[in-house]
């Protein structure tokens, strides 16, 4: 779920900016693939069982403890539970719908779709992460593209919206880190 939009960003990065239709079609194909995968997760999820399903764990960083044994410091643990499967499905629908609706963007559409896919990759990561380190990593991965999207392609009052969003996000993150 997280890797496919990032792969889409990587492919879009190498397409020339003047090939707007190719950028639109590749973005739509990747968004449709993510939508299909999110429907697959939703339909394959066993609602009667509950709990975490589709679990993937990977030890990312280990440290040597005081007596020489290896201790898990940072591990990536992702999975989908009952609420996350619904949010993943809704995010997949929003990703595909937003990609199709954004076909009329003519100014830097390649940059728009790259930032949009990075944003949604972070959102997917937030919903499936089960450890605090990667939760914050995916949250921060989604914050920067959001600022850039609001700043560049926002409404007529985009600068004030951009500043307000930045301030609220900074306050939110500070409160979460303190708690």
Beta strands in 44-168 (DSSP E): 53-64, 70-80
CB 100 within 8 A of CB 34: no
Two tokens, residue 107: 């100014």
> Residue 9: what pLDDT?
93
Residue whose C-alpha is closest to residue 148's, from 122, 177, 125:
122
What pTM does this model have? 0.84
Residue whose C-alpha is closest to residue 74's, from 129, 14, 5, 35:
129
Residues 6+ apart with CB under 8 A from 87: 127
> Residue 50: what pLDDT?
75
> Residue 17: what pLDDT?
83
pLDDT in tens, 90-125: 999 999 999 999 999 888 899 999 999 999 999 999
Two tokens, residue 11: 């492919």
pLDDT in tens, 18-60: 898 999 999 999 999 999 999 999 999 988 887 888 999 888 7
């Amino acid at each position: 779920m997280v890797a496919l939009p990032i792969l889409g960003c990587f492919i879009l990065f190498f397409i020339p900016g003047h090939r707007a239709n190719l950028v639109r079609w590749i973005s739509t194909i990747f968004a449709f693939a993510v939508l299909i995968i999110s429907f697959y997760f939703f339909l394959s999820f066993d609602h009667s069982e509950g709990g975490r399903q589709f679990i993937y764990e990977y030890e990312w960083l280990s440290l040597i403890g005081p007596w020489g044994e290896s201790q898990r410091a940072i591990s990536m643990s992702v999975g989908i539970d009952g609420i996350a499967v619904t949010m993943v499905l809704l995010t997949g629908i929003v990703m595909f719908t937003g990609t199709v609706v954004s076909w009329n963007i003519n100014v830097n559409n390649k940059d728009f779709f790259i930032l949009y896919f990075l944003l949604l990759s972070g959102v997917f990561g937030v919903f499936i992460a089960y450890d605090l380190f990667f939760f914050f990593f995916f949250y921060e991965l989604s914050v920067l593209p959001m600022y850039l999207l609001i700043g560049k392609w926002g409404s007529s009052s985009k600068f004030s919206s951009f500043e307000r969003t930045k301030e609220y996000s900074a306050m939110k993150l500070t409160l979460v880190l303190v708690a």
